[in-house]
Amino acid sequence: MKDTPVSSSSRAARAKGPEGALVERIFDVAPTLLCVLDLRDRRIVACNRAFVRALGIGDEATEELGWDTLLSRVHPEDLGASAVYVEQLRAARDGEPIGCSLRAQGAGGAGRVFAVRCVVLARGDDGEAHQVLVSAEDITERERREVELQKNEALLQAFLEHMPAMMFAKDRDSRYVVANAQFERFMGVAPRSVPGKRDHDILPEDIVAQVKAADDQVRNTGLATGFEEIVPHPTEGLRLFYSVKFPVQGPGIPEGTVGGAAIDITALKQAEAERQEAQQAIIAAQQATIRELATPLLPIADGVLVMPLIGTIDPERASRIIEALLAGVGAHQATIAIIDITGVRSVDARVAEVLLQAARAVRLLGARVVLTGIQPAIARMLVDLGVDWQGLVTEATLRGGIDYALRTRERRGGRLAG
pLDDT over 50 (residue 414)? no
- The larger pLDDT score, comparing residue 42 to residue 349, is at 42
Radius of gyration of the chain (CA): 50
Crossing angle of the two packed helices 315-332 and 349-364, in degrees rounded to 10: 20
pLDDT tens readout for residues 46-76: 888 888 888 876 544 434 567 787 888 888 8
Quote the CA–CA distance of 255 and 218 in Å, as a whole number.
12
Confidence of residue 117 (pLDDT cuts 50, 70, 90): very high
- How do strand 304-311 and strand 336-344 relate by DSSP bridges? parallel
163-196 pLDDT per residue, tens:
889 999 999 998 999 999 999 988 888 998 999 9
The per-residue pLDDT for range 89-105, each reduced to its tens digit, is: 777 888 888 888 889 88
Q: Which helix (H) or strand (E) holds 176?
A: strand 176-179
Q: What percent of the chain has pLDDT over 70?
A: 89
**Whole-number pLDDT of residue 234:** 76
Model confidence, pTM? 0.49
pLDDT in tens, 317-338: 778 888 888 999 999 899 999 9
Residues with Cβ within 8 Å of residue 355, at least 6 apart in sequence = 339, 341, 369, 371, 392
3-state secondary structure at position 21: helix
CB count within 10 Å of CB 218 equals 20
The per-residue b/e assignment along 155-172, b for 16 or more CB within 10 angstroms, e otherwise, is eeeeebeeeebbbbbbbe
The mean pLDDT value for 233-257 works out to 88
312 class by beta-carbon count within 10 Å (0-12 exposed, 13-18 middle, 19+ buried): exposed
Write out the DSSP string of 306-333. EEEEEE---HHHHHHHHHHHHHHHHHHT
